[in-house]
Amino acid sequence: MRRKLVIGNWKMNGSIAKNQLLLEAVIAGVQDLHHVDCVVCVPYPYLGQAQALAQGTKVIWGAQNLCASEDGVLTGGVSPHMLVDYGCQYVIVGHSERRMLSHETDDTAAARFIAAIKAGLTPIFCMGETKEERESDWTDYVVGRQLDSILRRFGPEVLAKAVLAYEPLWAVGTDNPATPEQAQQVHKFIRHRIAKCDAHVAKSVRILYGGSIQPSNAPALFAMHDIDGGLVGRCSLDAQAFVAICAAAN
């Protein structure tokens, strides 16, 4: 039985004052939800604040990206060990916004993925197709290629230390979520592809859905067999909505 997991991706939002209100409300709201893991992935400057507020609570914190290399000559870089230093357990890798706007490729995402694993962090590895790719029936091809960039390179065992997220680009930041059936179909495809390499890992790895999750659509999405929780963008900035989504997973 896979334990449900809900991760808030705050993206480039927040301020010290706003974060405090948001985190305190989330911490209070989820404290009695015993059957779900709740994570917030915050911008780098607020990792210390997240650590100070969330330590010892049910809320786990993480980052939204990392560099693949260790400390060195890389202006603006944040290394895996820096995230560990701030008590991060999770880090998002290969989000579509980074793949598209920051020229992340399958290769650079794979390098970040393995750097996270080596540092003892749990990467949240994002995959998903564009609207045009879906309309051309390329969803399996694109998601399969993204998955293979990890699976073929590092073998299935590393996935036991990771979380996967299916985030169709046409559903991210829109008001157009995938239907539970559409999402389930891709999640099942991902799990089957892993199962061909390692049935045990396929059964245990958590695959999250992301893209316009709201309190109203979360219960139906989370009821699907291969959907193990959510990666939540906008609604993670609203404590009431985020707690309601965590409660739906609980």
Q: Which of 104, 129, 133, 167 is catalytic?
A: 167
CB 58 within 8 A of CB 27: yes
**Residue 245 binds to ligand 13P (criterion: CB under 6 A):** no
- Least CB distance to ligand 13P at residue 56 (A): 26
Q: How far apart are CA 20 and CA 14, in angstroms?
A: 9
Minimum CB distance to ligand 13P smaller for 149 or for 212: 212
Q: Is 225 a catalytic residue?
A: no
What residues numbered 120-179 form the site for ligand 13P, per CB under 6 A? 167, 172-173
**Under rule CB under 6 A, residue 43 binds ligand 13P:** no
Please tell me which residue in 70, 95, 132, 181 is annotated as part of the active site: 95
d(CA 110, CA 77): 17
The Cα 39–Cα 92 span in angstroms is 11
What is the Cα–Cα distance from 59 to 57, expressed in whole angstroms? 5
Of residues 216 through 235, those in contact with ligand 13P by CB under 6 A are 231-234
Nearer to ligand 13P, 202 or 208 (CB): 208
Interface residue with ligand 13P, options 212, 229, 238, 243 (CB under 6 A): 212
Strands of the chain, DSSP E: 4-9, 36-41, 59-63, 90-93, 122-127, 163-166, 206-210, 229-232
Interface residues with ligand 13P (CB under 6 A)? 9, 95, 167, 172-173, 210-213, 231-234
